[in-house]
Structure 1
Amino acid sequence: MLEVIGAGLPRTGTTSTKAALEQLGFGPCYHTFEVLLRPELAERWLPVCAGAAADWERVFEGFRSCVDWPASFFWRELAQAYPEAKVVLTVRDPHSWYASFRLLGSLGPREPMRADEAPEAIRPVVAAMTSLRPLFERIGESVFGETWRPGHTPDEERAVAAYHRHVAAVLAAIPAKRLLVFDVREGWGPLCAFLGVTAPPSAPFPHLNDAASLRRMFELMHTEGQVHVPFPRGG
């Protein structure tokens, strides 16, 4: 059962927040990159991809928290399904967010990759992510007003406007006592106070998945067929 729902857009510190939540005892935390480790997780989203009602207990079976797309796109539905869960809206400067989001789009293949054309070691991952593509296109169209695909990023004006709409929608819908607006640069303090827990002694707040590590992850997949995620394995 989900106890913490991440409502922030991708590239707002979601990977760092995932690692922090797991260190605080709210793991495992679902992040899209989990599919790189367990491609079978993609199957749980297939009914949602087809437009059917979601079985959230099935989608998040074995997880206590979630961040990033596709989970964070459904923040409203998840907040209703788990009324006791707290909501964390990760934020950052909209223009630096756009630069980071554009980088993410540029690193992915411009057209869908066929699993049989991928290095053997990552074929299950490619197949899994391909199966999720319709869902991500639906998300992109809803958020940006146009279909978003890897390698194709909306222009900055449109994207930043979408960012502001998203933040405003969450602020309007979630009661203040249930919501933390969180910039990962703030570190442990606000997050621990909101969740009612103590920060790990002597542990720095995780800052993961920066531009360099994101490039490295895609490079290893494309050139060496290696699956490398930018967070510690086993939450």
Structure 2
Amino acid sequence: MKVLGVGFGRSGTMSLKAALEELGAGPCLHMIDLIRNNELIAPWHDAAIEGDVDFDRMFAGFESTIDWPGCSYWRELIEHYPDTPVLLNYREFDGWYKSVKNTIVAVREASQKAELKPDANRPAPPPELWQVIGTLIYERDFQGKFEDEEWMRDMYYARIEEIKATVPAERLTLFKLEDQPGWAPIADMLGVEAPQTEFPHLHDTDEFRAEFGLPALA
């Protein structure tokens, strides 16, 4: 593995996936890969539901990871890949919480109410994927307390500080969205030259919702 992205999803992860792949650290596994290619779900389902954690299977064909499901295993990953650089992507809580509520939570609720509108180009996610999402995100990471905003706030910032305290500074690269760091920190981490092109900006809230057939927010 070339990069371990350990920050939560809805923290610039699609943009970072594109950036990592452009800089030679791809393919980069992101939850969107499981959504678009259901053949990738099985090893993650085995890990989340059965406790059969096999990183060779879970990351087969990939050179890096960002977003869920990988970030749920950040502690295990930094030990399993002791020489791999760690990327902590994050943003301020209020913007993150709102984004999660309008995307992941909204899509999950629509699915539970059978309100998603699949078509030939956008099939409905299979039950196994929702089981992975429910187990890793809602139970493992959020501990079933997403609606408790203050608990989530405390957990969110405590997790960031735990990662900073656990991963040696020389191994850790910080990427805070509000600072708009661009290519430089990632290029430095990988030891490559930063491109002169604009840094990717992908998968905002409305783009995420459109992926599942939900309307854009006003």
List alignment gaps of at least 5 residues for structure 1: 148-152, 224-235
Q: What is the rounded CA distance, in whole Å, between the counterparts of 2:82 and 2:91 in structure 1? A: 26
State the 1:76 CA deviation: 1.1
Q: What is the rounded CA distance, in whole Å, between the counterparts of 2:162 and 2:89 in structure 1? A: 14
Q: What is the rounded CA distance, in whole Å, between the counterparts of 2:9 and 2:128 in structure 1? A: 19
The answer (yes or no) to whether the contact 1:113–1:126 under 8 Å persists in 2 is no
Match of residue 167 from structure 1? 160
Among candidates 129, 133, 136, match of residue 136 of structure 1: 133
Moved more, 178-187 or 18-27: 178-187
Aligned pair in 2 of structure 1 residues 181, 32: CA closer, same or farther (>3 Å)? same
Among candidates 158, 176, 188, match of residue 193 of structure 1: 188
Match of residue 213 from structure 1? 207
Please list, as runs of the form range in 1=range in 2, the aligned pairs for 1:56-67 lying within 5 A after superposition. 56-67=55-66
Q: TM-score, with normalisation over the residues of structure 1?
A: 0.81
Aligned pair in 2 of structure 1 residues 38, 113: CA closer, same or farther (>3 Å)? farther
State the 1:121 CA deviation: 5.0
Count of residue pairs the alignment pairs up: 209
CA deviation map 1:149-184 (0-9, x unaligned): xxxx42321221121121022112111111111124
The answer (yes or no) to whether the contact 1:13–1:183 under 8 Å persists in 2 is no
Please list, as runs of the form range in 1=range in 2, the aligned pairs for 1:60-209 lying within 5 A after superposition. 60-110=59-109, 111-112=111-112, 118-119=118-119, 122-123=122-123, 126-127=125-126, 130-139=127-136, 140-146=138-144, 153-184=146-177, 185-200=180-195, 202-209=196-203
The answer (yes or no) to whether the contact 2:86–2:172 under 8 Å persists in 1 is yes
Letter in 1 for 2:143: G
State the 1:118 CA deviation: 4.8
Match of residue 32 from structure 1? 31
Match of residue 42 from structure 1? 41
Letter in 2 for 1:211: T
- Percent identity (aligned): 33
List alignment gaps of at least 5 residues for structure 2: none
Letter in 1 for 2:191: G
Q: What is the rounded CA distance, in whole Å, between the counterparts of 1:183 and 1:122 in structure 2? A: 32
SS at match of 1:162: helix
The answer (yes or no) to whether the contact 1:45–1:59 under 8 Å persists in 2 is yes
Letter in 2 for 1:131: E
Q: TM-score, with normalisation over the residues of structure 2?
A: 0.86
Aligned pair in 2 of structure 1 residues 83, 106: CA closer, same or farther (>3 Å)? closer
Letter in 1 for 2:23: L
Q: What is the rounded CA distance, in whole Å, between the counterparts of 1:145 and 1:106 in structure 2? A: 14
CA deviation map 1:29-79 (0-9, x unaligned): 000001232110001212213333311011111100001111111011111
The answer (yes or no) to whether the contact 1:8–1:90 under 8 Å persists in 2 is yes
SS at match of 2:170: helix
